[in-house]
Amino acid sequence: MVTKQEKALLALTRLYRYYGKRKRLVAQQHELWKVVIATILSARTRDETTAVVWPSLTDLARAKPREVMKVIRPIGFYRQKARYVLEVARLIAEQGVPQTRDQLMKLPGVGRKTANIILSAMGKPAIAVDTHVHKIANRLGLADTRKPVETETQLMKLLPKRYWNKINYIFVIHGKTLCKRKPRCDVCPLHDICDFAS
Ligand code: SF4
């Protein structure tokens, strides 16, 4: 019988092995603004990540709202996001990228999950709980929660900090590949440790 913590570590190890040890890249400091903008653009969409087409932060900060809207039109909520993106680009151009969750969450369009995704991309300890992380943590039995923020708290208690920013990346891949709405437990490398499958 494995403990919850052993199960969580086993799940991470097996998933990284199963999906080919894809290495998560930590963003370079000078590219962090792209991470912030891409994360805001991707919020509430099904898109993986949204490419940031502006060559520099200054270009984006000086862009007109209608130019930004034209570029991001295929994305959901594009009018609202264009406003956020321009405000954020101008703030970052003046003050730099905020370095803490509280500071990040003061940016327009940045909630807790988005802030955690940005912190993870910076290589800082944070668990970004989206629908995939919430679903898989509960299916595995690592969490017993209704809300993503509760899942984040339970996972933070369960795992040492050095693992926090590894969870979102690999659980999202797993959630899109095998642990979908109708999960493929028959071929999943976690089936013997998963509460849902047993
Ligand atoms: S065994 Fe099934 S429910 Fe559990 S993690 Fe794998 S695919 Fe998801």
Class of domain 4-24+126-193: mainly alpha
Residues with CB under 6 A from ligand 1: 136, 139-140, 178-179, 183-185, 188, 190-191, 194, 196-197
**Is the domain 29-121 a CATH 1.10.3720.10 member?**
no
Contact at 8 Å (CB) between 28 and 34? Answer: no
Q: What pLDDT does residue 21 have?
A: 63
Query: Which ligand 1 atom is nearest residue 196's CA?
Result: 3
pLDDT the model gives residue 135: 97
Could you tell me the residue ranges of all domains in the chain? Answer: 4-24+126-193, 29-121
Q: What is the Cα–Cα distance from 22 to 19, expressed in whole angstroms?
A: 7
pLDDT score recorded for residue 77: 86
pLDDT for residue 131: 92
What are the two backbone dihedrals, phi and then psi, of residue 140, each rounded to the nearest 5 degrees? -70, -25
Q: What's the gap in Å between 177 CA and the centre of ligand 1?
A: 11
What pLDDT shows up at residue 55? 86
* Alpha-carbon gap, residue 191 to 20, rounded angstroms: 18
List Cβ neighbours of 49 (8 Å cut-off, separation of 6 or more).
Answer: 38, 39, 42
Residue segments in the chain with a per-residue pLDDT below the cut of 50: none
Residue 70 CA, distance from chain mean position: 26
Atom 8 of ligand 1, nearest CA residue:
179
Per-residue pLDDT, 198: 84
142-161 core/surface letters (b: 16 or more CB in 10 A; e: else): bbebeebeebbebbeebbee
Ligand 1 mutation pick, 15, 139, 174, max ligand atoms within 8 A of CB: 139
- pLDDT tens, 61-78? 999 999 999 988 888 888
Give residue 187's pLDDT.
Answer: 96
